[in-house]
């Protein structure tokens, strides 16, 4: 862990935390249960972490629910996950509205079933005015896919003459990303002991801090979450600069 050698003074906690929720399948297999059992347990853990965010000072939480590569899993598991997403929205919508959570979904919705897309759209509409915290759920999301789609939309704007090629820079491209209304993540957490980013928020996480922990996602409690956030405050974030 990178720490400031000159000072132990804690810095502000992360405003935006992104989480790669890994380990649901292994958690279930350790208990002799099917992988979907672990995904159900993981969905319940999401509620615990979302509820903990306001008291921990986290304004934005982005969770990686289903990647563009996850379609390679068995048809049974994919179908089960899609059903789980529908049930999660049905079960949690009222609580999310009540608790002031603004929900957004990122990713390519074209491949998702229309009923699920309608539910996602409706939940976004119902929670659009909420300001207590922001929950972003990445479904059928991949960082490279997101940047490709953004570049395609930007190229179309240039083709239509609404943007000149001289105006194209990093800030311009960022306006076409799925996350254009969100701040970049300060901290990215991956559970389950894997130390890779798996195509998650590639553009947005250029200067994020990373924390790879061994805990499987269903066992990742708000207490451990708070501990990870505390360790973040001891890191020396220089963003390419050198401190005097």
Q: Which CATH number fits domain 16-142+184-232: 3.30.2350.10, 3.40.1180.10, 3.30.360.10, 3.40.50.720?
A: 3.40.1180.10
| Per-residue model confidence as pLDDT tens digits over 77-114 | 999 999 999 999 999 999 999 999 999 999 999 999 99
Residues in the annotated binding site for Mg(2+): 22, 209
| Per-residue model confidence as pLDDT tens digits over 5-58 | 444 566 899 999 999 999 999 999 999 999 999 999 999 999 999 999 999 999
Residues in the annotated binding site for substrate: 23-27, 35, 39, 67-69, 71, 73, 190, 196-198
Under the phi-then-psi rule, with left for phi > 0, alpha for psi from -120 to 50, and beta for the rest, what region is 239?
left
User: Where exactly are the structural domains of the chain?
Assistant: 16-142+184-232
Q: Please identify every residue annotated as catalytic.
A: 22, 70
Q: What is the DSSP string of 122-146?
A: HHHHHHTT--SEEEEEEEEE-HHHH
Q: If pLDDT is split at 50, 70 and 90, which confidence band does 59 have?
A: very high
* Apex 12 CA angle, 8 and 17, nearest 5: 120
Three-state DSSP at 189 gives strand
13: its two tokens: 């906690």
């Amino acid at each position: 862990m990178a720490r400031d050698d000159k000072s132990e003074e804690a810095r502000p906690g992360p405003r935006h935390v992104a989480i790669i929720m890994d380990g649901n399948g292994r958690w279930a297999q350790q208990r002799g249960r099917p992988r979907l059992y672990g995904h159900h347990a993981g969905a319940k853990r999401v509620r615990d972490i979302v509820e903990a965010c306001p008291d921990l000072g986290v304004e934005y939480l982005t969770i990686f629910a289903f990647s563009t590569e996850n379609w390679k899993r068995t048809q049974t598991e994919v179908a089960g996950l899609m059903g789980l997403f529908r049930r999660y929205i049905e079960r949690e919508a009222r609580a999310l509205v009540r608790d002031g959570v603004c929900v957004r979904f990122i990713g390519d919705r074209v491949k998702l079933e229309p009923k699920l897309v309608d539910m996602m759209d409706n939940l976004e509409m119902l929670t659009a005015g909420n300001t207590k915290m922001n929950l972003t759920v990445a479904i059928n999301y991949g960082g490279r896919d997101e940047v490709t789609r953004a570049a395609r939309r930007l190229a179309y704007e240039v083709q239509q003459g609404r943007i000149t090629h001289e105006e194209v820079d990093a800030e311009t491209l960022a306006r076409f990303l799925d996350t254009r209304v969100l701040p970049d993540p300060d901290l990215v957490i991956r559970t389950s002991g894997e130390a890779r980013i798996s195509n998650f928020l590639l553009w947005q996480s250029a200067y994020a801090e990373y924390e790879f922990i061994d805990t499987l996602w269903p066992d990742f409690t708000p207490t451990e979450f708070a501990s990870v956030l505390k360790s973040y405050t001891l890191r020396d974030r220089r963003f390419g600069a050198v401190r005097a």
